Amino acid sequence: MSSPESSSDSTTSTAEAGFLSGIEFLTGEDPNLGSFLLTIGGVTCVFIALFQLGPVEPPVSHLLTAGVLIITVVSAGFAALLDSLGYFDATVPEQSAETSRPTDTKRPWVPAEPVSASLPPMLNFDQELQALSEQYDGDLPEQFDPFITEYKRLKTNPSNRSTIASDLRADLNPIGTILDEDSQAYNHYERISEGLFRYIGDTAEHFTATDPTFYNSTDTEHAVADINDELGRAEVTIDNDGEAIDIDLVVEFYDGETLLSSRSCPVGTIASGQKKTVDTDVFVPAAADSATTVIKPAGG
């Protein structure tokens, strides 16, 4: 016998739910009994004032006012019926604070707002911060707070990174005071410090370049000393750890420590994090026994 009763209760509940959802256009989402009655009262007052003080003459104004009062009473009764059905008690469950937080609490250096441009490799300290966080079991000391705040700002303000990097270097000092210089954590701290100093310094230091590889006129690889007084080709691989920038490559030829000549080659723009191999024709002086490369900002 319990099965038919259960089926009947389910049907009744479904019907009530359908009825209540069907009147949502009258009450709005997340309805409240107090606000519903306040709305009824406000509308009633407006119409009574309109009929009593407006251009409508008695007895028509009295009839219209009576009609408004009747509708008000019916509406109040309707509100009482809805309240008895539990309509105004239904609340939409709010998201928990933890699930609504856009930032990963275990990685506080990840900004909540979108990042428009990735950090250059020399400024990307996510791995170091992750390692430091693991050293402290995921609970970084308060000395990290100013640094993490500025680091998130560094990620979201690509046009102002030089200034923020300088502030970030200052915020790093309190962290160094709580680390043991012989610990692995201090090594992570030093890598962060070196990256910041390098970024703040000379732009040319943002690049690393291999020593040039030389090829003679038959495109055979040779040491520079073997291509004396001859036109050859130099090949250099450039790695950009900084921001995207337009650069020139300079190949310098030496006899011992004496600079004999140099050859400048425009490279163009190298994107942040990009590795690019450049080759250029060069004339190797007769006395040259070594060569090196220099990176310069274009037009610098």
Confidence (pLDDT) at 205? 87
> Is the dihedral angle over the CA atoms 38, 43, 47, 50 positive or is it negative?
positive
Q: How are beta strands 258-270 and 245-255 bridged, if at all?
A: antiparallel
CA distance 48 to 66: 9
Q: 1: pLDDT confidence band, cut at 50, 70 and 90?
A: very low
Give the CATH superfamily of 206-297. Answer: abc- transporter (atp binding component) like domain (2.70.50.60)
Model pLDDT, residue 23: 54
Contact 269, 245 (CB under 8 A): yes
- Whether 39 has a pLDDT exceeding 90, the answer reads no
Domain residue ranges in the chain: 12-84, 98-201, 206-297
Strands 258-270 and 221-222: unpaired
What value does the mean pLDDT of the chain take? Answer: 81
- And the tokens for 87? 């309509």
How big is the CA angle at 199 (ends 206 and 192), to the nearest 5 degrees?
110
Q: If residue 235 lies in a helix (H) or strand (E), which one and from where to where?
A: strand 230-240
Question: What confidence score (pLDDT) does residue 114 get?
Answer: 80
What's residue 99's pLDDT? 39
The predicted pLDDT at position 257 comes to 93
pLDDT in tens, 145-155: 999 999 999 99
pLDDT of residue 24: 55
State which of 34-43, 87-96, 275-284 shows the largest mean pLDDT: 275-284
Does the structure show a pLDDT above 90 at 18? no
Spatial CA neighbour of 274 closest among 235, 236, 239: 239
As a whole number, mean pLDDT of residues 106-132 equals 88
Q: For a pLDDT cut of 90, what percent of the chain falls above it?
A: 51
Q: Is 214 exposed, middle or buried (0-12, 13-18, 19+ CB in 10 A)?
A: buried
Which pLDDT value is given to residue 120?
Answer: 93
- More confidently predicted of 227 and 89: 227
State residue 275's pLDDT score.
Answer: 94
Give the C-alpha separation, 110 to 131, whole Å: 15
Cα–Cα dist 288/228, whole Å? 7
User: Hey, what's the torsion of the CAs at 267, 270, 276, 279, to 10 degrees?
Assistant: 0
Coil/strand/helix, residue 51:
helix
pLDDT at 97 over 60: no
